[in-house]
């Protein structure tokens, strides 16, 4: 299992959040005196267990935790005389799993349920209807955001938009408000808040209710104080997660499935076979290799936000530096004037050097895997089509050609959504024709997918009539100047649009405006083009200079936007901390609409 980020280099001291969650877990479990415990954790939460609970084998043994299982059906049965403890997030699907698991246990078995977030009546009703409410004792576990990296917090709720817009279940907004409340209990009150969007307003309302019950501490922790919070809906900018990313970390997420700071690839030789062997876990040809990629890795920290064109020169120059280091150590080793003390120091230096070379070889191998795709003709053709679509050129014919070329449905739907978003809707006749062709070629189960995309607002139909002439642009792409930034040097960028090859995420424009002297006041007309209400809430006394900003995106944020925020932070000399329901690549974002639908035949 890959190690989570240590958070030692976090400008926000996010390690304090992990320590608080660990302490809460240990105190809660220790205070109940349950004896031997079998812990069943919902699968997604279990994948991040060591990100929020910094407990080792000895700690678990002292807490009498005999084993930790993934909560699924059929599941492992607890050992005799062990107490069953469940850990879940308060969602009806997870409570259903708990109820079904309890029903499989011997009659009369009692259990304890730890829930994160805010428990609700729906969850209680599930236990009552299953007839297990008398068997389980419910306790709140004070867990908010989970620190993924030095500047990233997540709830690992990968389907927030699906829940809100397709299923009509907005309990995730209360969960996000609760997580912000838990954060404020550690960091203190946040003096200035901007929000934009319906979901953001609901999150702010939930946060206010939690704070009214338990106010944040009056004194703010200097290590974790936050000067400004900006709450934004994902719906404000669907284009960013659908755009092809051109930064290294975002491409790893899109092409190789990087998630939670971990990437799994097939074991393959790299430029330096020996170094690759030492860098990777023990494996044989054909097995999968798992690597941790986070802020603890100095090479990854340097290249994660670079444009793909800047990766090669950086790795080449770093390799040359390491080669020169090796030559220097070899000269020192064979020099007659070298002392015994220098030889001892040389041994330690050589070990450190070999570790750095192994690390570099790992990143060279990953870069080669990424470039194998980005240099392909199909990738370049799709990117050129995407760029033309964002310039609002008519390309429905090219999208139709993709359908008849049997291009994967994900690619076709992504291009169709981009065309709809860039042009504020599709001509109804053209849309119905393309939709019919997709259903014929990809299957009628995609009717459900189209309905989901429409419910999320990714696909809309617009009027074919010509708009009346006006001096004020009505398209947000034009009004906010989001496209057309093609003269930016990708190796030395001066604009955040380098992350997508010419498209600047709207998130960056909104954050930059919020941090300016006049804030959002001069942008009222442009803000009104975007869906949902907006508000600015400022305390009577606020910091003279904003240094630490919490950016919260409701509905998931893409790695592309995180890279753009880091670029903006360096430009403005501001430290950003990113918090969201989930960190989603384009495929994961679209996957919320590609929800499998049972056909009733199995």
Residue 335, pLDDT score:
75
Give CA separation, 402 vs 128, 193, 397, 436, 441, in Å.
Answer: 51, 44, 9, 14, 11
- Per cent of the chain over pLDDT 70 is 90
Is the per-residue pLDDT at 19 higher than 70? yes
Is the per-residue pLDDT at 410 higher than 80? yes
Give CA separation, 459 vs 281, 449, 452, 456, 573, in Å.
Answer: 44, 11, 9, 8, 38
Q: Cβ atoms within 10 A of the Cβ of 218, count? A: 7
CA-wise closest residue to 318 among 361, 287, 283, 289: 361
Pairing of strands 262-266, 228-233: unpaired
Residue 540, pLDDT score:
59
Q: What are the residue boundaries of the structural domains of the chain, listed by start?
A: 1-143, 266-375
Residue 45, pLDDT score:
93
| Cβ(320)–Cβ(501) below 8 Å | no
Residues 432-449: what's their mean pLDDT?
Answer: 93
Q: How confident is the model at residue 568 (pLDDT cuts 50, 70, 90)?
A: very high
CATH number of 1-143: 3.40.50.2060
The kind and range of the H/E element at 545 are none
With H, G, I as helix, E, B as strand and everything else as coil, classify residue 490: coil
> Token pair of 416, please?
């169709």
Please state whether the peptide bond connecting residue 542 to the residue before it is cis, i.e. omega within 30 degrees of 0.
no
**In 247-277, which positions are buried (b, 16+ CB within 10 angstroms) versus exposed (e)?**
bbbbbbbbbbebbbbbbebebeebebeebbe
Q: How confident is the model at residue 360 (pLDDT cuts 50, 70, 90)?
A: very high
The pTM score is 0.91
Residue 274, pLDDT score:
41
With H, G, I as helix, E, B as strand and everything else as coil, classify residue 79: coil
pLDDT in tens, 296-328: 999 999 999 999 999 999 999 999 988 888 887
> Token pair of 258, please?
């990087």
CA distance 359 to 98: 42
The kind and range of the H/E element at 110 are none
Q: What is the DSSP string of 363-389?
A: HHHHHHHHHHHHTSHHHHHHHHHHHHH
Is the per-residue pLDDT at 134 higher than 70? yes
Give CA separation, 62 vs 27, 59, 448, in Å.
Answer: 12, 5, 50
CA distance 278 to 282: 8
Q: Cβ atoms within 10 A of the Cβ of 531, count? A: 12
CA distance 91 to 588: 20
Residues 562-577: what's their mean pLDDT?
Answer: 95
Residue 282, pLDDT score:
39
Pairing of strands 534-538, 192-196: antiparallel
Give CA separation, 50 vs 54, 148, 405, 526, in Å.
Answer: 6, 10, 45, 43
pLDDT in tens, 451-479: 999 999 999 997 544 445 445 567 889 88
Q: How confident is the model at residue 80 (pLDDT cuts 50, 70, 90)?
A: low
Q: How confident is the model at residue 279 (pLDDT cuts 50, 70, 90)?
A: very low
User: Which of 54-58, 227-231, 426-430, 439-443 shows the lowest mean pLDDT across its residues?
Assistant: 54-58
Q: Which residues pair with 247 in a beta bridge?
A: 307
Is the per-residue pLDDT at 276 higher than 70? no
**CATH architecture, domain defined by 266-375:** Alpha-Beta Complex (3.90)
Residue 266, pLDDT score:
80
């Amino acid at each position: 299992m890959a190690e989570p980020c240590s958070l030692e280099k976090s400008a926000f001291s996010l390690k304090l959040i992990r320590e608080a969650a660990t302490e809460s877990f240990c105190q809660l479990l220790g205070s109940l005196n349950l004896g031997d415990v079998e812990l069943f954790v919902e699968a997604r939460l279990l994948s991040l267990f060591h990100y929020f609970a910094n407990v080792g084998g000895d700690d678990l043994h002292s807490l009498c935790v005999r084993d930790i299982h993934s909560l699924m059906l059929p599941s492992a049965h607890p050992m005799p005389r062990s107490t069953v403890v469940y850990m879940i997030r308060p969602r009806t699907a997870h409570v259903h799993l708990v109820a079904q698991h309890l029903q499989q246990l011997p009659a009369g078995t009692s259990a304890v349920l730890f829930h994160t977030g805010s428990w609700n009546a729906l969850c209680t009703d599930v236990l009552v209807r299953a007839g297990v409410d008398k068997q389980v004792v419910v306790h709140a576990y004070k867990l908010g955001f989970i620190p993924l990296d030095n500047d990233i917090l997540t709830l690992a709720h990968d389907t927030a938009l699906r829940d809100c817009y397709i299923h009509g279940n907005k309990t995730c907004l209360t969960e996000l408000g609760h997580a912000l409340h838990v954060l404020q209990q550690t960091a203190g009150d946040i003096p200035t808040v901007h929000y934009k969007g319906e979901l953001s307003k609901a999150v702010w309302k939930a946060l206010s209710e939690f704070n009214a019950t338990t106010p944040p501490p009056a004194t703010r922790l200097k290590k974790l104080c936050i000067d400004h919070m900006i709450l934004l809906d994902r719906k404000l900018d669907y284009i960013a997660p659908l755009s092809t990313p051109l930064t290294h970390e975002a491409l790893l997420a899109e092409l190789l499935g990087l998630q939670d700071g971990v990437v799994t690839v097939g074991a393959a030789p790299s430029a330096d076979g020996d170094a690759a062997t030492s860098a990777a876990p023990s494996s044989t040809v054909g097995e999968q290799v798992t690597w941790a990629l986070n802020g603890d890795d100095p090479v990854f920290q340097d290249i994660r936000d670079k444009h793909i064109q800047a990766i090669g020169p950086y790795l080449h120059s770093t390799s040359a530096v390491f080669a020169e280091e090796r030559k220097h150590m070899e000269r020192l080793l064979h020099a007659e004037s070298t002392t015994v003390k220098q030889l001892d120091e040389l041994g330690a230096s050589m070990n450190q050097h070999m570790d750095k070379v192994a690390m570099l070889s790992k990143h060279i191998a990953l870069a080669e895997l990424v470039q194998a795709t980005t240099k392909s003709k199909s990738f370049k053709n799709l990117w050129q089509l995407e760029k033309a679509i964002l310039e609002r050129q008519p390309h429905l014919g090219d999208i139709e050609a993709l359908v008849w070329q049997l291009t994967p449905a994900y690619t076709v739907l992504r291009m169709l959504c981009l065309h709809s978003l860039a042009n504020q809707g599709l001509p109804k006749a053209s849309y119905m024709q393309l939709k019919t062709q997709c259903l014929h070629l990809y299957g009628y189960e995609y009717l459900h997918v189209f309905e989901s995309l429409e419910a999320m607002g990714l696909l809309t139909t617009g009027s074919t009539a010509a708009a009346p002439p006006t001096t004020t642009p009505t398209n947000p792409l034009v009004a906010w100047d989001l496209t057309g930034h093609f003269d930016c040097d990708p190796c030395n960028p001066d604009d955040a649009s380098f992350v997508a090859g010419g498209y600047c995420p709207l998130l960056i424009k909104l954050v930059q405006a919020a941090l300016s002297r006049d804030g959002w006041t001069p942008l009222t007309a442009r803000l009104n083009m975007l869906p949902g209400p907006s508000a600015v809430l400022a305390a009577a006394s606020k910091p003279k200079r904003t240094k630490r900003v919490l950016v919260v995106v409701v509905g998931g944020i893409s790695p592309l936007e995180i890279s753009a925020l880091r670029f903006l932070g360096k430009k403005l000399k501001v430290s950003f901390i990113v918090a969201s329901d989930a960190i989603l690549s384009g495929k994961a974002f679209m996957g919320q609409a590609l929800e499998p639908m049972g056909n009733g035949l199995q």
